[in-house]
């Protein structure tokens, strides 16, 4: 009996480093924080990645993207705001998480969505966006998305799928939403406002259609439980209600920020 107990204890001691390693990996995959990049887990498969954009009008602005992870694959939604931080994100995903990045989806043509796209292309990672995004690209300074679509594009990650949809203009003429049905998560980008946010950058906005496009989004994705805006805290469907109300036709003349 004593010999069996000693053998059992010996096996536990041998397995302890492995168990600690697994525990550490589980802890790592929950979150990541550095000076310029933060990753937060928000559901079983989904994470928000947060990077920062220096602006003259608003100062240092936090910008949201999304990661969908299944099995050993990751889909990225919007790049970090720079090539440097995009390389940091990719290095973390590939080397710390040991995941293969199978694609990057661009929400619209602004720099807070595609500022680091060249870093993805340098690694042979395919990029996708609504066809207008390719037309509205920011010129030679930034890379253009490679593959365009008109209305819907379904992409696979692991054994799961994400639906990317152009519903209508709002923040820009090309903004899309991306819906991960398995976790009921909707990534709206700058098309969706966080609670208590102001109207923000309206330089390329379609104020006449924004609220209508949001209402169509609510109808098309009634099961969305988590909604991620382009800036600020994620929440639930109330973010869609807040955005729709903000841009109702009777209010579009009130351009307070």
- Residue spans of the domains in the chain: they are 33-251
Strand partners, 105: 77, 128
Average pLDDT estimate for 82-99: 97
pLDDT per residue as tens digits for the range 181-232: 999 999 999 999 999 999 999 999 999 999 999 999 999 999 999 999 999 9
pLDDT per residue as tens digits for the range 13-25: 444 444 444 444 4
**What pLDDT, on a 0 to 100 scale, did the predictor assign at position 55?**
82
Tell me how far apart the alpha carbons of residues 229 and 190 are, in angstroms, rounded to a whole number: 6
Structure tokens belonging to residue 4: 């069996």
Mean pLDDT, the chain, rounded, equals 89
Nearest Cα to 189, choosing from 131, 257, 251, 105?
A: 105
**Which helix (H) or strand (E) is 132 found in, with range?**
helix 131-135
**What pLDDT, on a 0 to 100 scale, did the predictor assign at position 139?**
73
Residue 43 · residue 178 · CB < 8 Å? no
Average pLDDT estimate for 233-255: 86
**What pLDDT, on a 0 to 100 scale, did the predictor assign at position 250?**
65
- Of 1-15, 35-49, 98-112, which range is least confident? 1-15
**What pLDDT, on a 0 to 100 scale, did the predictor assign at position 29?**
56
**What pLDDT, on a 0 to 100 scale, did the predictor assign at position 196?**
93
Tell me how far apart the alpha carbons of residues 38 and 47 are, in angstroms, rounded to a whole number: 10
Tell me which fold the domain 33-251 belongs to. Answer: Metallo-beta-lactamase; Chain A (3.60.15)
């Amino acid at each position: 009996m004593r010999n069996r107990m000693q053998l059992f204890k010996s096996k536990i001691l041998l397995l302890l480093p492995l168990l600690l390693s697994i525990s550490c990996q589980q802890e790592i995959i929950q979150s990541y924080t550095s000076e310029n990049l933060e990753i937060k887990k928000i559901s079983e498969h989904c994470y928000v990645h947060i990077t920062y954009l220096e602006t003259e009008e608003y100062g240092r602005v936090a910008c949201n993207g999304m990661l969908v992870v299944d099995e050993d694959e990751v889909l990225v939604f919007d790049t970090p705001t720079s090539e440097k931080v995009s390389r940091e994100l990719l290095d973390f995903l590939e080397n710390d998480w040991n995941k293969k990045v199978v694609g990057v989806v661009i929400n619209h043509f602004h720099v807070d969505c595609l500022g680091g796209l060249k870093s993805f292309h340098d690694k042979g990672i395919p990029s996708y966006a609504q066809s207008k995004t390719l037309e509205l690209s920011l010129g030679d300074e930034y890379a253009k998305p490679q593959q365009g679509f008109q209305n819907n594009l379904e992409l696979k990650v692991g054994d799961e799928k994400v639906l990317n949809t152009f519903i209508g203009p709002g923040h820009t003429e090309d903004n899309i939403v991306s819906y991960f049905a398995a976790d009921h998560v909707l990534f709206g980008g700058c098309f969706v406002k966080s609670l208590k946010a102001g109207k923000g950058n309206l330089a390329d906005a379609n104020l006449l259609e924004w609220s209508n496009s949001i209402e169509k989004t609510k109808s098309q994705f009634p099961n969305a439980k988590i909604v991620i805006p382009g800036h600020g805290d994620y929440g639930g469907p109330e973010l869609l209600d807040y955005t729709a109300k903000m841009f109702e036709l009777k209010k579009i003349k009130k351009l307070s920020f």
